[in-house]
């Protein structure tokens, strides 16, 4: 499916090309190599759980903060400094490219993205798709500047770029905002499949450009969030959604870099690497294999499916990310500790594992707990690696 894509090497100064992040725990784990210490980061680590974030955001609307390069960079860096995580994820929102292309959307506190007008009919889709995604080539300049600022501060710690999957963006557009069952989106999918296909092609182009801009600006990995794909049966996902997700990640699938390994007794060996791509969805236990099949390198698993079972469903050869239950972040430490260690143990069944949450950090989470989880993951995984090395040496 992807043989037709010609590789484009990233700029020589890109953190992957320069070697700054290419050998990081995160990138190696995403490539399927298990590092001695399991990397860890948290979805929604940048933001509302941190007092320094709340102080910085006073008087600034969410989308305005996302489009302020200095503010977005500082918010991204805050959890990296505080928690010692193995990656930053750029502070932004999946609707940012919709806003920049001309869609009337705002993020309402306590509710989420709200559209000025819902896209419910074929005529609505036709009107929406007159907005040209190509304007993003210049409109995304604040995002690229924010990424570049962040990368300059992070050194060898990689930054992850992200975007919403086409279905999740389409669901927001059709529903007009958040929804529990996405009934209008699913209805349009079947009542007017041509309009649905046009909508998905458009959202794939918009979100794909958003993702590519972040990688070109310095992100060392890319994550596609399909927050609402769990509302779909497998047949609908593979027929009406997966092709657009393939198109979306196609915007970064061609980006790569040359990794050079030197041997004192031999010529340097050059290996071409692609930018790692992670695909994550909520409630998508029945879709894991299909989500991997769009061309993702890593599959994120939410808290509903144990990692060893996810590994089984994926055939045992796919790097995994996840999947601590966010609800347990507020549990007594012995309960959370046991849960984190269990996730680590189950993650060992996969070729490699990046520990994360099975969804985002709840806003009332004690930041000290997140820092303690990072320490636990690093210490426990390092001890296990040392024990395994000692055993193999005997």
Has 181 been annotated as catalytic?
no
According to the annotation, is 88 in a ligand binding site?
no
Maximum CA extent, the chain = 71
User: Of 25, 28, 34, 44, which is the active-site residue?
Assistant: 44
Sorted by sequence, the CB contacts under 8 Å of residue 11 that are 6+ apart come out as: 17, 216
User: Of 30, 53, 172, 257, which is the active-site residue?
Assistant: 172
Cβ atoms of 41 and 87 closer than 8 Å: yes
Give strand pairing partners of 314.
none
Kind and range of the H or E run holding 11: none
Has 57 been annotated as catalytic?
yes
According to the annotation, is 11 in a ligand binding site?
no
Exposure on the CB side of residue 81, measured as CA atoms within 13 A? 11
- 160 three-state secondary structure: strand
Has 25 been annotated as catalytic?
no
- 92 three-state secondary structure: coil
According to the annotation, is 47 in a ligand binding site?
yes
CA distance 39 to 321: 10
Give strand pairing partners of 258.
272
According to the annotation, is 3 in a ligand binding site?
no
According to the annotation, is 303 in a ligand binding site?
no
Question: For residue 334, with 0-12 CB atoms within 10 Å meaning exposed, 13-18 middle and 19 or more buried, which class applies?
Answer: exposed
User: Of 93, 226, 297, 302, which is the active-site residue?
Assistant: 93
According to the annotation, is 46 in a ligand binding site?
yes
According to the annotation, is 149 in a ligand binding site?
no
User: Of 366, 311, 365, 369, which is closest to residue 339 (Cα–Cα)?
Assistant: 369
- 40 three-state secondary structure: strand
According to the annotation, is 172 in a ligand binding site?
yes
Binding region for substrate: 44-48, 93, 172, 227, 359
Binding region: 44-48, 93, 172, 227, 359
Active site residues: 44, 48, 57, 93, 172
């Amino acid at each position: 499916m992807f043989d037709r894509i010609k590789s484009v090497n990233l700029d020589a100064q890109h953190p992957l090309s320069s070697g700054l992040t290419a050998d990081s725990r995160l990138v190696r784990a995403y490539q399927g190599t298990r590092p001695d210490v399991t990397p860890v980061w948290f979805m929604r680590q940048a933001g509302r759980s941190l007092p320094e974030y709340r102080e910085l955001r006073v008087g600034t609307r969410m989308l305005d903060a996302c489009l302020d390069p200095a503010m977005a960079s500082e918010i991204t860096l805050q959890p990296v400094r505080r928690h010692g995580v193995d990656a930053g994820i750029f502070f932004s929102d999946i609707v940012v490219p919709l806003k920049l292309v001309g869609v009337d959307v705002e993020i309402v506190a306590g509710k989420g993205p709200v559209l000025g007008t819902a896209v419910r009919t074929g005529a609505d889709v036709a009107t929406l798709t007159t907005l040209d995604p190509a304007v993003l080539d210049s409109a995304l300049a604040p995002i690229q500047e924010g990424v570049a600022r962040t990368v300059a501060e992070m050194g060898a710690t990689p930054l992850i770029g992200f975007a919403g999957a086409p279905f999740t963006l389409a669901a927001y557009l059709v529903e007009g905002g958040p929804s529990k069952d996405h009934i209008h989106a699913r209805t349009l999918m079947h009542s007017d499949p041509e309009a649905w296909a046009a909508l998905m092609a458009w959202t794939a182009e918009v979100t794909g450009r958003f993702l590519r801009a972040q990688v070109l600006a310095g992100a060392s990995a890319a994550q596609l969030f399909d927050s609402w794909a769990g509302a779909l049966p497998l047949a609908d996902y593979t027929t009406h959604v997966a092709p657009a997700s393939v198109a979306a990640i196609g915007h970064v699938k061609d980006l790569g870099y040359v990794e050079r390994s030197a041997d004192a007794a031999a010529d340097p060996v050059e290996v071409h690497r692609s930018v790692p791509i992670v695909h994550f969805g909520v409630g998508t236990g029945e879709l894991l294999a299909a989500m991997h099949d769009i061309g993702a390198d890593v599959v994120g698993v939410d808290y509903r499916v144990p990692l060893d079972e996810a590994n089984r469903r994926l055939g045992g050869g796919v790097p995994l990310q996840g999947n601590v239950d966010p609800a347990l972040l507020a549990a007594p430490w012995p309960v959370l500790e046991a849960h984190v260690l269990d996730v680590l143990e189950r993650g060992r069944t996969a070729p490699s594992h990046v520990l994360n949450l099975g969804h985002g950090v709840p806003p009332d989470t004690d930041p000290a707990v997140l820092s303690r989880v990072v320490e636990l993951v690093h210490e426990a995984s390092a001890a296990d690696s040392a024990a395994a090395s000692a055993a193999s040496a005997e």
